[in-house]
Structure 1
Amino acid sequence: MKTTTLAHTPPEWAPQSAVWVGWPHLRDAWAEDYEGAQREIAALVKALAPVVTVKLVIGAPHSRPEAVNLIGDLAEFYDAPMGDIWLRDIGPVFVKFRNRLEGLGFTFNGWGGKYELEGDTETAAAIARLEGHPLKRLDFVLEGGAVEQDGEGILITTRQCVLNPNRNAGWTEEKAEAALSEAFNAQRIIWLGDGLLGDHTDGHVDNIARFVAPGHVICQTPSGDDDPNTDILRAIESELRAAELQVSTIPSPGRIEDEDGEPVPASHMNFLISNGRVILPIYEDEHSKRAQAELQAIMPDHEVIALPANHILTGGGSFHCMTQQVPETEGALP
């Protein structure tokens, strides 16, 4: 039983009052994918708008007219500091604490010093302030995409990311578990090994394993003889089954290449759950069609909507990476 003195992290399928979405504004960084990424994000907003309030972060004035043109009145627009769109990692993680919501703000160091952009360290405070909730600062490096929780005290993460010396030097599993348990009131922490090849986040768990119900986790099986993550995906499934969770699988996208012919970390795990809908990133191939059908069978009480995410993927992530949900306050801990 959870104590009432610690935070409770609602699962993603719990009722949400809003979803924050990042809007691209770094035209040079996105290059030829800039407009394509905006179109894909506009489609995401249109899929979410009927079931939840969508709040768009406009990181630069010049991108506001672009957003208005594609989205119209389907979202609320907010000016806030933001380096790029990855709100899962730079935004606050909202938890329920006593009778209120509280945002958790972790130290952000650009995914281990790889991409340090102006504004990213200010985003969590800005969103918490706009939501009207306090922000609790924690003095260790963590990104929201590095942890996955089932709402009942189970947390999954990866050693490749959380124990990486480019995050918190000297961290052991014991030190990491103490920090994660205190932050999220996690009762059990399950460690996976490596994430997908080419993932600049150093193996975020939201690209490889996701909870769909308490104790019920979903992961991917390899697709095609040339799937670059075959060994990694098989290890993930084996580790989750060894942890005695209920495990379901859907196919991976298989081999998706960049313009240089190198594999990119495309994943069907980077879906977003919001108020009865699941927005699934797809990559316009037969594996994605099968993934949608199989995910719908696993989650029959949700509507699975598949949307292309090829342009967003060039930035390194997909729908889950660029969003952050706000739980409903009703039912907060007494």
Structure 2
Amino acid sequence: MQHFLPSDPSPHELGFRMPAEWEPHAATWMSWPADDDLWFGHLDGVREEFAGLVRTIARFEPVELLVRDAESEENARARLAGADVTYHRLPLDDVWLRDNGPIFVRRGDELAFVNWRFNSWGGKFSWEHDDQVPEYVARVLWAAHWDRPEVLEGGGLEVNGLGTGLTTRSCFLTDTRNPGLSEEGYGALLHDTLGVSRLLWLDGGLENDHTDGHIDTITRFTDERTIVTSVESNPADPNHAVMQNNLEALRQMTDQDGRQFRIVELPLPASRLEGAEGRLPPTYANFYIGNGFVVVPMYGDPNDARALEVLRPLFPEREVIGLPSRKIIEGGGSFHCVTQQQPRGTVWTGK
């Protein structure tokens, strides 16, 4: 396999691009929860919800599961017996593989990836082990990849696979990620590395989101020209104004070909959830799209059923499945945050 440096030809120059999530997968990569302190004493419940998620995904495509130690592997194997899961033992800090894992790019049938730096959303938690995960994946797959000096988390970027990307200023423009990198600078960077020709910016995300407002917690592409975006109906809720501003901005935006999007409103959970560190950021937008399925986090909330009603018509060829995420959200994220798709393709070694 070959390591490419920033001075080497970029993925875009070599014809690679980041595919949309709904394009066919070879597998889903995940990490198994292991640290009871990080889950505020709820690790057993978190693992139960994780097992339900992994088993559901494994019905449709293989799962590559990272496990921290012997106890984690034994626990995962017991809960996932019979599922299409491959286990990988390596040191881990946490489970948010969307953010610390590789971001795959494809050229025709050839597959490689970009290895960004990960610093735990601006140094909020430990990250040294998780930052090494892409190099491990490279060794497993023998995949060529580009090592970038910039910090970038997968949950901070949405793409439609045709050249349009979505992100938030509240996340990308923090001074704890890439100080001095402007909107224009990000546009050039993501064009060169992921093939994003048009980068669209929303202002912010959910209250008390430790990612500083990842786009995948509020606003998602469901196809090349359809965007589903979270809305808060209660004007007194701090999320109301931010979500409304996002909605109005999206209605004015156009794609890489200058066409307006179809915008669909998705309710946030009706009930306010509190965790050990204040308000939690539950959202239905943190769904994960795979081969023939979409898994949507559920919270035992009055809006759970309504969220599924909104999403099912947007994925007519996929089974839209609601699964419990009440324990997982205690860690600050949900299903999209803990998954990373490996697109289908022949792994390119760079030769």
How would you bin the TM-score normalised by the shorter chain? over 0.9
The residue aligned with 2:80 is 71
SS in 2 for 1:314: helix
Q: TM-score, normalised by structure 1?
A: 0.94
Q: Counterpart of 1:138?
A: 148
Q: Give the stretch that moved more between structures: 323-332 or 170-179.
A: 323-332
Distance 2:52 2:284 in 1: 17
SS in 2 for 1:206: helix
Any conservation in 1 of the 2:67–2:90 contact (CA below 8 Å)? Answer: yes
Task: Deviation per CA, 1:134-191: give whole Å up to 9, x if none.
Answer: 2211111111111000011000011111111111111111111111111111111100
Partners of 1:166 and 1:4 in 2: how far apart? 29
Tell me how far apart the structure 2 counterparts of residues 93 and 260 of structure 1 sit (CA, whole Å): 31
Q: Say if 1:198 and 1:265, in contact at 8 Å, map to a contact too.
A: yes
**Helix, strand or coil at the partner of 1:285:** coil
Residue 248 of structure 1 corresponds to 264
Gaps spanning 5+ residues in structure 1: where?
none
Alignment pair present for 1:48 and 2:48 = no
Contact between 1:55 and 1:77, CA under 8 Å: does it hold in 2? yes
Q: Check the 8 A contact 1:158/1:194 in 2, yes or no.
A: yes
Report the more deviating stretch, 275-284 or 224-233: 224-233
- AA aligned opposite 1:252: L
Q: Once the 2 structures are TM-superposed, how far is the Cα of residue 113 of structure 1 from its aligned partner?
A: 1.0
- Structure 1 vs Structure 2 CA RMSD: 2.0
Question: How far apart are the structure 2 equivalents of 1:113 and 1:46?
Answer: 32
TM-fit CA distance, 1:232: 1.4
2:70 and 2:276 mapped to 1: Cα distance? Answer: 33
Alignment partner, residue 167 of structure 1? 177
- The answer to whether the Cα contact below 8 Å between 2:219 and 2:229 also exists between their aligned partners in 1 is yes
Q: SS at the partner of 1:197?
A: coil
Q: Which runs of 4+ in 1 moved over 3 A?
A: 223-228, 259-262
Percent of aligned positions with the same letter in both sequences? 35
Q: Contact 2:40–2:276 (CA<8 Å) still a contact in 1?
A: no
Tell me the secondary structure at the aligned position of residue 310 of structure 1: coil
Question: Counterpart of 1:69 in 2: which secondary structure?
Answer: helix
Distance, in Å, in 2 between the alignment partners of 1:73 and 1:223 is 43
| Aligned-partner residue type, residue 8 of structure 1 | R
Equivalent of 2:332 in 305, 316, 328: 316
Q: Deviations over 1:263-289 (max 9, x none)?
A: 211111110000110000011112111
Hey, what does 2:7 align to over in structure 1?
none
2: CA distance between counterparts of 1:113 and 1:50?
36
Letter in 2 for 1:34: L
Is the contact between residue 4 and residue 98 of structure 1 (CA under 8 Å) also seen in structure 2? no
Amino acid in the other structure paired with 1:109 = N
2:16 aligns to what? 7
Shift of the 223–283 alpha-carbon distance from structure 1 to 2, 3 Å rule, reads farther
> Residues 331 and 30 (structure 1 numbering): CA distance in 2 closer, same or farther, change over 3 Å?
closer
Shift of 1:254: 3.0
Matched residue type, 1:38: R
AA paired with 2:342?
V
Deviations 1:192-222 (A, max 9, x none): 1011110111111000111111121111221
Partners of 2:160 and 2:273 in 1: CA distance:
32
From 277, 280, 299, the counterpart of 1:264: 280
Contact 1:228 / 1:254 at 8 angstroms: preserved in 2? Answer: no
Aligned with 1:286: secondary structure? coil
Is the contact made by 1:9 and 1:96 (CA closer than 8 Å) also made in structure 2?
yes
Listed one character per residue, the Cα deviations across residues 60-100 of structure 1 (whole Å, up to 9, x for unaligned) are: 22211111111113111111332100000000011113652
Q: CA deviation digits over 1:1-54, x for unaligned, max 9? A: x97733211111111010011100112222321011111110011111121001
Structure 2 residue aligned with 1:39: 48
Does the 8 Å CA contact 2:168/2:213 hold for their aligned counterparts?
Answer: yes
Normalising to structure 2: TM-score of the pair?
0.89
